[in-house]
Structure 1
Amino acid sequence: MSKTLHLGLFLMPNGHHFGGWRHPQADVTRHLDFAAYQDIARKAEAARLDMIFIADRLAVDDIYGSDFRQAVRYRPSTSAEPITLIAALSAVTRHIGLAATASTTYNEPFHVARMFASMDHLSGGRIAWNAVTSTSDGEAQNFSRAEHLDRTTRYRRAGEFLEVVTGLWRTWGEDALVVDKASGEFYDPSAVRYLDHKGEWFNVRGPLNVPRTPQGRPVIIQAGQSEEFRDLAASQADVIFTVQPTLTGAKTFYADLKSRAQAFGRPPEALKILPGLVPIVGRSAAHAQELQALLQERTHPLAGLTFMSASMNYDLSQHPLDELFPDIEARLKGSRGRFQYVIRDARERGLTLAEVARNYAANRSHNLLVGTPQFIADQMQQWLEEHASDGFNLMPAYMPGGLDDFLQQVVPELQRRGLFRREYSGSTLRDNLGLAVPA
């Protein structure tokens, strides 16, 4: 089989299941300890994963009722700033890619272009930028704004933001560096240009004060699945991280995004689609189910509700926990794509708000696979072969055991089937993702 999986590690130090920090073997005291991150990164690199992916929120999730204490009571809500973290991790790894999130709503393009280009040089070409628009009023209020930009406006700003950042990365030609001691010429000025961008949101002269990077430019990741997201991602992204809980839905999304990419003049292989995957690995199917049940029993409903409210940018506390999940799709101001599925599924199945919150806390609507290493490998192979994904962004339920189980049991099974690499294919993240260097 010629096509193989690409695997990222979506790193959350306490695991992705909201009950994961309460697992008896969970290591919850080191979530801001660099030694813990270093250990995780080296394990992921030893398993030959493509990259480590670090998300970000610019606020504590406090959009649930009027009592701030509920927002921080039932789950870990602090984390290391991701750009700082991947810069540190680049010094203790050699091959694995490193992806950090930076918001297009609460940053300036020149800052983002400069930071990520610098890290791409310092890491030897292993950096990716996860470009997001952010989600909540809580984030806006940490940046001197009363409320978050509406969906249409923030995606319009994001489109221009990406245009400016990629434009700045192109202001240096590949042969700009001369370093001729005899002539005294350090750069070739004909290979450097101004950007002179003038738009709705940004006026940026350039050029960037960091030259062209080892990858040509850092890899661009975008996360989402809404209609507003799709054209922007298909035109600009190298990798898409998406929420696709079902094979049928994933195949439809995959075909749509690949088609949109072609409409923008891009070959389908220029866009890698990696849905989230929450694997719960057991010695047997029964053992895996027992582990899932343990995590569910240790999840407080408010852990899911506070996270959902912040992601939706909608206060769910105004609805009774024991009644049918409310029909609020049209009232969401934050993430919409994933919650359209959550709301419709809940109402079709007659689920209460509390039931949905507990379910959401397990996987945040991502694909949850509970079973043996062989079962999980079977499902991953099916998604690859049926054109539902190019790989997965792995979301271990608890740490470090959930990650160890996958790396030690599922990865060897995938390698045995010829579905995953045994060695890195190149020195840059683009090499390992099979992405061309941009002109």
Structure 2
Amino acid sequence: MSDLILNAAVLGVGMHLGAWRHRPESPTSYVDLDFYREIARLAEDGRLHAIFLADTLAVSEENFERPNLGAMDPTTVLGALAAVTKHVGLVATATTSYSEPYNLARRIASLDHLSRGRAAWNIVTTFIPDVAANFSKAPLPPHAERYARAEEFVDIVTALWDSWEDGALVGDKASGLFADRARVHPVNHDGNFFAVRGPSTLPRSPQGRPILFQAGSSEQGRTFAARVADAIFAVQNTLPAAIAFRDDLRQRAEGFGRDPNSLKILPGLLPIIGGTEEEAQKRKKDLDELAGDAELRKLASRVGVAVSELDLDKPLPIDRIKANDRFNSSRGFQAAAVELATSGNLTVREILYRNGGGHPQVVGTPEQVADFIESWHRAGAADGFNVMIDEYPSGLRAFVGEVVPLLQKRGVFQKEYRGTTLRENLGLEKSNDTVRTQEQRRSNYA
């Protein structure tokens, strides 16, 4: 059993909100290319499948109190890393709510060609209301509208990626034939949100098309993911909920005529590692103290109540959370926090100890972290994990140097890369979709 997938998720200088004060390196590392180069080198040395870059289009979540968790444009950073890596995948987050399909399709395809087939797009629909004000006078659209736009957006992007058939780029110097025009097709899309003629300026991807990640956990998000995604960045905090989520997504994928094994479910996981439990707990305590009440405020935002309504030594106010019919943020994060709180009858303080920015948090030795990963994987709860490193580079160094060898020794994680493209390394077949008509595309989201 060696099909476990592990990605390093990069958010600022670490997922923990106290990381920038705890680490000895400069607080400005997150705008330094050498910082990302070291992460890429560590990830590739550890045979991790991909580097996963978050994105953000507003400053409100961090509010200038710490490095923004996604300040740098992911495709720009990953383009630079393509030149200094050979195997590790490059996952760029980009929103469908505040992008245009043609431009984004071109950016991701460019990254895929420059990396020789290692690019992926993490599809998000933007749930932070303050982002809207950076693009227009209109407020953040309702949840259903954001997903309706995303459905159409992704169909256009994939149609553009498919607009050049395999072999359309001929490059025959003797005959003078550069491209076979009969094998390059316009998209001619005219939908509810977009009009795009196409075709793409770039030939077909080395991996057929770049990998699609998606992170939705709502009812609409799950259906969307089951139809279009190759990998799901899941938000699940308990083993039973994670098993149910994976089973549900696989069943939905089958309903779309897909092989359920072609959908990889990757929950987030925040490990805080120490040589002993005491060392790990001290690292956690030191990080928490430096973060102040930032994690509490983030939890309040994620569940949709005021900070004043959260008492550290009392349970979450579940009735207040469920009664908030104006909640327009991430329903996945909200549901995961509620599930964790109710399944274990936890206080807010206990939730903060086990919930790392919305994801399960393991505070312990390398063996304990490896046990958690292996147990979830073997139980059918996860095909792998997006590892939310607490602090870069020390957290990744500990994970790669101490946890990965344990997983390799147990036979659950790869010792070498399977192929040359990200699609191959994830155990997915090359995409060979033919060009679809506008009517076929519209039937997907009409």
TM-score after normalising by structure 2: 0.89
Which amino acid in the other structure matches residue 96 of structure 1? V
> 1:158, CA displacement in angstroms?
0.4
| Residues 128 and 218, structure 1, Cα contact 8 Å, conserved in 2 | yes
Deviation readout 1:195-217 (Å, 9 max, x if unpaired):
11121111111111111010111
| Structure-2 residue corresponding to 1:43 | 42
Which amino acid in the other structure matches residue 372 of structure 1? T
Deviation readout 1:340-378 (Å, 9 max, x if unpaired):
2324655784746xx489558x61221111222122212
> 1:389, CA displacement in angstroms?
0.5
Q: Distance in 1 between matches of 2:296 and 2:350?
A: 8
Match of 2:163, SS state, is coil
| Structure-2 residue corresponding to 1:371 | 364
| Structure-1 residue corresponding to 2:404 | 411
Q: Distance in 1 between matches of 2:292 and 2:272?
A: 19
Give unpaired runs (5+ residues) of structure 1: 63-69
Give the number of equivalent residue pairs. Answer: 426
Distance 1:99 1:124, change over 3 A: same
State yes or no: 1:401 paired with 2:391.
no
1:338 pairs, out of 333, 342, 347, with 333
Distance 1:76 1:118, change over 3 A: closer
Which amino acid in the other structure matches residue 306 of structure 2? L
Residue pairs, 1:24-423, within 5 angstroms = 25=24, 28-61=27-60, 71-73=63-65, 76=68, 79-302=71-294, 304-305=296-297, 309=301, 316=306, 319=309, 325-326=316-317, 327-329=320-322, 330-343=325-338, 346=341, 349=345, 351=347, 355=349, 359=353, 363-423=356-416
Which amino acid in the other structure matches residue 333 of structure 1? N
Distance 1:122 1:320, change over 3 A: closer
State yes or no: 1:434 paired with 2:434.
no
Q: Distance in 2 between matches of 1:410 and 1:236?
A: 32
Deviation readout 1:397-425 (Å, 9 max, x if unpaired):
11211111111100011111111111111
> 1:308, CA displacement in angstroms?
5.1
Distance 1:77 1:123, change over 3 A: closer
Q: Distance in 2 between matches of 1:342 and 1:188?
A: 53
Which stretch shifts more, 367-376 or 152-161? 367-376
Distance 1:233 1:377, change over 3 A: same
| Residues 11 and 53, structure 2, Cα contact 8 Å, conserved in 1 | yes
Distance 1:365 1:78, change over 3 A: closer
Match of 1:422, SS state, is coil
Which amino acid in the other structure matches residue 40 of structure 1? I
Distance 1:344 1:417, change over 3 A: closer
Q: Distance in 2 between matches of 1:379 and 1:88?
A: 34
Structure 1's consecutive aligned runs of 4 or more residues displaced over 3 angstroms after TM superposition are: 24-27, 74-78, 317-326, 343-352, 355-360
Q: Distance in 2 between matches of 1:365 and 1:13?
A: 16
> 1:269, CA displacement in angstroms?
1.6
| Residues 56 and 69, structure 2, Cα contact 8 Å, conserved in 1 | no
Deviation readout 1:106-151 (Å, 9 max, x if unpaired):
0111011111111111110010000100012211100013310100
| Residues 408 and 414, structure 2, Cα contact 8 Å, conserved in 1 | yes
Distance 1:325 1:417, change over 3 A: closer
Distance 1:293 1:26, change over 3 A: farther
Q: Distance in 2 between matches of 1:84 and 1:24?
A: 25
Q: Distance in 2 between matches of 1:224 and 1:151?
A: 11
Q: Distance in 2 between matches of 1:27 and 1:321?
A: 34
> 1:307, CA displacement in angstroms?
7.4
Which amino acid in the other structure matches residue 259 of structure 1? Q
Distance 1:285 1:98, change over 3 A: same
| Residues 221 and 238, structure 1, Cα contact 8 Å, conserved in 2 | yes
Q: Distance in 2 between matches of 1:423 and 1:319?
A: 49
Which amino acid in the other structure matches residue 194 of structure 1? P
| Residues 430 and 437, structure 1, Cα contact 8 Å, conserved in 2 | yes
Distance 1:7 1:346, change over 3 A: closer
Which stretch shifts more, 298-307 or 131-140? 298-307
| Residues 94 and 121, structure 2, Cα contact 8 Å, conserved in 1 | yes
> 1:243, CA displacement in angstroms?
1.1
| Structure-1 residue corresponding to 2:435 | none
Instruction: Report sequence identity in percent.
Output: 43
Match of 1:276, SS state, is strand
Which amino acid in the other structure matches residue 327 of structure 2? L
> 1:319, CA displacement in angstroms?
4.8
> 1:291, CA displacement in angstroms?
2.0
Match of 1:53, SS state, is strand
> 1:293, CA displacement in angstroms?
2.1
Root mean square deviation of aligned Cα: 2.3
Give unpaired runs (5+ residues) of structure 2: 433-446
